[in-house]
Structures are given as structure tokens and as C-alpha cells.
Amino acid sequence: MNRIIALYIWAVGMFSAIMLSACVEDGFSTNPSDQPQLSADTLRLGLVFTGEGTPTHLFKIHNRHDKGMIVSSLRVRDDAWRDVFRFNVDGMAGRDFTDVEIRANDSIFVLVEATLPENGAQLPVEINAPVDIVVNGLTSTIVLNAFGRDVTRMHEPRIQSDTRWESTKPIQIFDSLVVEPGATLTLGAGQQLCFHAGVYMRVYGKLVAEGTPEAPVDIAGDRFDQVVGSIPYDIMSGQWGGIEFMPGSTGNRMSHTVVRNTTWGVEVSGEGANPQLPVLTLVNCRLRNSAANVLTVTGASVRAIGCELAEAADNVVEAGEGSHLVINHCTLANYYLFSAVNGAMVYVAADDAAGDISNSIIYGNGGIVSPGDLFGYDFYLRTSLLKPNGSDDDNFLAIMWGQDPMFYTVRSDYYFDYRLREGSPAIGAADPALTLREAAVDFFGNERGAEPDLGAYVYVPESDSL
């Protein structure tokens, strides 16, 4: 019996020694040479409106060593920024952290959010806030980088009398924007309108957008971060509704204006097309990136001159019942990213739709013109470049068939630039007799000259244009 007890005591002692040895081996290092590895030296939170929380970003703290380590302190270095940033470290929320354990050959997540204070500046203000991470008496640092821009917020704005917006701040729209009958909303050069998800602009009165080459008007969604990875919201459709010009609205004019990332684009409805009194005139505008059509016209006259009309899940331009379109020196292109293209670049949806497309480029994925045979339609394409091979007839006149305009666009890199590269067959190929007076310069202020190029943009050698 005594022998059994002795053996038992020996076994317990051996087990305890083994466990103690394991605990020693799995203990926490105090060696200053054992330091963590951070997943980045700068965490970029992007551009956000002041007073509005950023999306959540993260970085990792890796322990590449065979012993555990203790983060004795993790905090924003400058007290001025401590209330701006919020952290979640390995599941614990707060602003300052002490004695955070990281097991051997393991890592922890640090989630970061921020609400940037108003800065009183006209342009975005950059913030760089160092975060110090102390382990074994030494400090590692990651910089939190963010840009904050002041904004004017409007909830359900209704324009009931003539109003001019010419703010140095963007205007963020919630609950939609309505221009009432008899009222005119004028947007000065450089004005930005940022629409929240699901809202739209509806015009019963009149909209005038007075952008310039140096300061275009910008109308888009209010997200500036990344959809996923390196893909920015800037190329994501469906962020907000779009612009509706309602029956009874006339004399609308937009110059050097960008309308992008919509659900249904720009829709123009009238009570009968009158080419002498267009409901909407677009000069040197960019309408791009719609989850449906980019431009839809029904029962109204619309003029688009020097415009880029691009990126649509359905049709780029749809000419509906009783519509009349003039499209001069425009680039119609479609490399839509988020689904297969269901429609055509130009869809003539009714046999009473009338149109004249001249000195333009129509190129990209999906159909080009539908129906392909316009015999009997009052709809003509003249001196333009089209993607498919074909031959002229009574509706297609002096067409450059089956040619590549050589855009800078690289769809796989999410890069969309419809200016012309050197060697493009569209250079100098337009008919100056068809160039309308309002097309004298392009979006960037370049003069078309006596030998104009096809499409919206004047060719400029690469060293000068990009």
C-alpha cells in the first residue's frame, strides 16, 4: 500500500512539474526585443462628412513569437483626437486600453471608427492621429488618417420660390428634393449635392446648373468609402434615385454637370415634344452609372451636346413615346460592372420617337441601336462611330462602322475614362458642318476647332490630358 501511495505521489509530482514547465514555456515575454507586428503603418478611413460616423475599419496586431505578449497601453497619442476615435480591441470597446494579452503566434483585431468635428474650412481637412501601442517598454505606432469635410444637411427641402445654391460646402439631401411649380433652383459653379440612399430630385418648376470646366456641378450619392477592398462607391450605381423632370417643367438647363451613381438616371416627361422649347438642355454634362437607364425621355424634347452618357444596366438612352432627341458630339458608352447589360446604347422605344444623333461615338457592351433597322422612323445617325460592322442606309448616314475609338477605359481595373488615345480613328473625323454652336468647347474647356473629333471630348496628347 505504501508503495502505491509513493507511486501516486511521484506521478502527481511529475504531472505538476510538466504543467509548471508548460506554463513557463507559455508565459509572457518581458524581453524588449519581442515586439508586435502591425498589419499596416497607416489606417486610411477615407473622406467623410464632419459630424457623421465613418464606416468601421480594422487593423491587426500580430504576435509572431513563441511566448505571449502583453500590450501594456494602446491609445491615441494626442489628447485633441482622443474623443474623435473609437476602438474595439479584441472584443472590448473603449478609447484607452491596458494589459491586453496576445497569445503566442496569434493576433488580435482592432476595429476603428471616427466622428470628425467640424473644421470651418471650404475644402476637406486631413487628420493624422498616431496611435501608440506599448509592449515591453517599447512603442509601435500606427497612424489613423482621415479627411473631414463640413456639410450642410437638408431634410425634405422644397423649393417654392426662385432659389440659388452657391455654397462652399456640399449639401447633403435627406428625404428627397422637390422644385415646386413656378420655382427655379439654380446651382452655382462647383456646387455639390450629395443624396442619401433612396432619395431623389423631382422638378416641377425649373432646374438650372451653371457648372464650368474649372468647377463643375456634382450631383451624386453621399458615400465616399469603399464598397469592398479597393472598389470605391464612386463607381457603384443605385446609391440614390435620380432626377425626374415632370410634365409642365420647361427650360431646364444643365452645363458642366455630373450626375452619377443613380438607380434610374435622369427621366424627362412632357406633354408633347416641342423641339423649339426643349424641356432639358444638357451641355458638356456627364450622366453616368445607372442601375437602369442613364437618360429616359417620354413626350418631351431634350438636347444633349458634348455629353458623356455612360454605364447602364439597361439602356443608356431611351427615346420613348412622343419624344424628340438631339444628340451632338456625345459619347455613349457602356462598360457597366454590376450585372449583364440588358438593353442598348440607344433604344428607340416608340415608332413616333424622333431623333438626330451626329458627330458622336456609340461603343461598348450590349446592343448598340435598337431596333437595328430604323426604316420608317424619324430617327437618324449621322457622321458617328459605331461598334458593330454595318452599312449605311436612309437612317445611318456617313457612319464609321466597326472601329475602336480607343478610350482610356480599362474595365477590369475599374477605370472609366472616355477620352481618346493617340491613334483613335475618331480624331478629326467629325463633320464641322454638324457641330452645333454650343459644342464649341468640351467638358474640360478644350476647343473643338476647324477639324473636330467625334464624341464628347477633344483629343489632347496624353502628356497634357491625364
Q: Inform me whether the pLDDT recorded for 84 exceeds 50.
A: yes
pLDDT tier for residue 64 given thresholds of 50, 70 and 90 = very high
Region 186-204: what's the mean pLDDT?
A: 97
pLDDT tier for residue 26 given thresholds of 50, 70 and 90 = low
pLDDT tier for residue 370 given thresholds of 50, 70 and 90 = very high
pLDDT tier for residue 173 given thresholds of 50, 70 and 90 = very high
Which of 252, 250, 247, 351 shows the shortest CA–CA distance to 299?
Answer: 247
Residue 236 has a pLDDT of 86
Region 123-133: what's the mean pLDDT?
A: 95
Q: Inform me whether the pLDDT recorded for 28 exceeds 50.
A: yes
159-198 burial: b if 16+ Cβ within 10 Å, else e: beeeeebebebbbbbbebbbbeeebbbbbbbbbbbbbbee
Region 230-258: what's the mean pLDDT?
A: 92
Residue 230 has a pLDDT of 66
pLDDT tens, 31-58? 999 999 999 999 999 899 999 999 899 9
Residue 7 has a pLDDT of 41
Region 276-298: what's the mean pLDDT?
A: 97
Q: Inform me whether the pLDDT recorded for 174 exceeds 80.
A: yes
Looking at per-residue confidence, does 55 or 300 come out higher? 300
Residue 464 has a pLDDT of 53
User: 381 near 357, Cβ under 8 Å?
Assistant: yes
Query: How many Å apart are CA 223 and CA 107, to the nearest integer?
Result: 31
Q: Inform me whether the pLDDT recorded for 465 exceeds 70.
A: no
User: 206 near 179, Cβ under 8 Å?
Assistant: yes
Name residue 312's beta-bridge partners: 290
Plot region of 337 (φ>0 → left; ψ -120 to 50 → alpha; else → beta): alpha
pLDDT tens, 311-337? 999 999 999 999 999 999 999 999 998
H-helix or E-strand containing 335? Answer: none
What pTM was computed for the model? 0.87
> Where do the structural domains in the chain lie, given as residue ranges?
37-148, 152-439
Query: How many Å apart are CA 423 and CA 459, to the nearest integer?
Result: 10
Residue 104 has a pLDDT of 96
Residue 338 has a pLDDT of 82
pLDDT tens, 399-442? 999 999 999 988 888 788 999 999 999 999 999 999 999 999 99
Query: How many Å apart are CA 190 and CA 213, to the nearest integer?
Result: 10
Minimum mean pLDDT range among 8-17, 170-179, 181-190? 8-17
H-helix or E-strand containing 133? Answer: strand 125-135
> If you average pLDDT over every residue of the chain, what do you get?
92
Query: How many Å apart are CA 248 and CA 253, to the nearest integer?
Result: 15
Residue 239 has a pLDDT of 94
Give CATH superfamily name and number for 37-148: Immunoglobulins (2.60.40.10)
pLDDT tier for residue 270 given thresholds of 50, 70 and 90 = very high
Query: How many Å apart are CA 85 and CA 375, to the nearest integer?
Result: 64
pLDDT tens, 205-229? 999 999 999 999 999 999 887 776 6
Report DSSP state, residue 385: E
Residue 233 has a pLDDT of 78
Looking at per-residue confidence, does 152 or 2 come out higher? 152
Q: Inform me whether the pLDDT recorded for 344 exceeds 80.
A: yes
In percent, how much of the chain has pLDDT > 90? Answer: 84
Query: How many Å apart are CA 241 and CA 338, to the nearest integer?
Result: 17
Q: Inform me whether the pLDDT recorded for 292 exceeds 70.
A: yes
Q: Inform me whether the pLDDT recorded for 231 exceeds 50.
A: yes
pLDDT tier for residue 123 given thresholds of 50, 70 and 90 = confident
Q: What is the DSSP string of 287-333?
A: EEEESS-SEEEESSEEEEES-EEEEESS-SEEE-TT-EEEEES-EEE
Report DSSP state, residue 118: P
Residue 223 has a pLDDT of 87
Q: What is the DSSP string of 17-79?
A: HHHHHHHHHTSB---TT---EES-SEEEEEEEETTSBPPPEEEEEEE-SSSBEEEEEEEESSG
